[in-house]
Amino acid sequence: MLGQDVVSTAQAAGHESTALSRAELDVTDFAAVKRAVSAATPDVVINCAAWTDVDGAESSSEAADAVNGPGAGNVARAATAAGAWTIHVSSDYVFDGFRREPYVESDEPRPLSAYGRSKLAGELEVALEAPASHTIVRSSWLFGAGGRCFPATILRLAAERDELTVVDDQVGCPTFTGHLARALTALATQPSLGLVHVAGAGWCSWFDFAREVVSSAGLECEIKPGRTADLERPAARPLYSVLGTERPSEAPKLPDWREGLAEYLAAGVSAV
């Protein structure tokens, strides 16, 4: 989802790019990663590869760790060996969500889930393998036209049902991958920043997000508020994971998440 938008954005900006899918390159295989990066002779490597199944990571933690932890390190290590620097995408789920003000870069991560722990491990791997040549971008609640995402699911369910219950006690920053891709492409032309938070402006609950999706799509479906505890999901989620930044002059500023939703819907995406 994010990778496709990064490719199209980079090409539109006039950059020469090499894009490899999961089928073409397994990031857990360092030898393969090193060969691929060396052959591409890049100036910068943007790593969009990730295990993103939050609940699945609880039962398949070794697989999630391999991709999100050492896999991220492999990409950074190969980039460093090729004389390139690394942009790595991380997650708001590295935080526990126990506070009620935006998390900034210096706040201590305390992940609640196997997925969150694997993403934090990836940050540490990237910093270790590319100590002077990396930018780690924490973002949150990604949605876009290139894959399964929350708005697509809501569109499908709202077309099938008269009412939906969506949790209103998880709060975060929905981020349109088209907007994040532009920020990542811009960061590729700047000096490495270390760690920076980049997410859609504004914040909402999943309940708020679902209501905006249904309203914007002109669907007749009542959205009712629910509680996370009632879902009994395998992985714990941070109840508050709004991302802020203490680097306002350096961090790219994304449009409001509602603008991202409008662009997403304007693209004529299909519900999944």
Residue located via tokens 């999706």: 213
Please work out, in degrees rounded to the nearest 5, the angle formed at the alpha carbon of residue 61 by the alpha carbons of 57 and 65: 100
What secondary structure, in 3-state letters, does the chain show?
CHHHHHHHHHHHCCCCCCCCCCCCCCCCCHHHHHHHHHHHCCCEEEECCCCCCCCHHHHCHHHHHHHHCHHHHHHHHHHHHCCCEEEEEEEHHHCCCCCCCCECCCCCCCCCCHHHHHHHHHHHHHHHHCCCCEEEEEECCEECCCCCCHHHHHHHHHHHCCEEEEECCCEECCEEHHHHHHHHHHHCCCCCCEEEECCCECCEEHHHHHHHHHHHHCCCCEEEEECHHHCCCCCCCCCECCECCCCCCCCCCCCEHHHHHHHHHHCCCCCC
Check if the beta carbon of residue 196 is closer than 8 Å to that of residue 136. Answer: yes
Rounded to whole angstroms, the Cα distance separating 207 from 202 reads: 15
- Given the residues 93, 115, 240, 264, the one annotated as active site: 115
115 is catalytic: yes
Question: Active-site residues: which are they?
Answer: 115
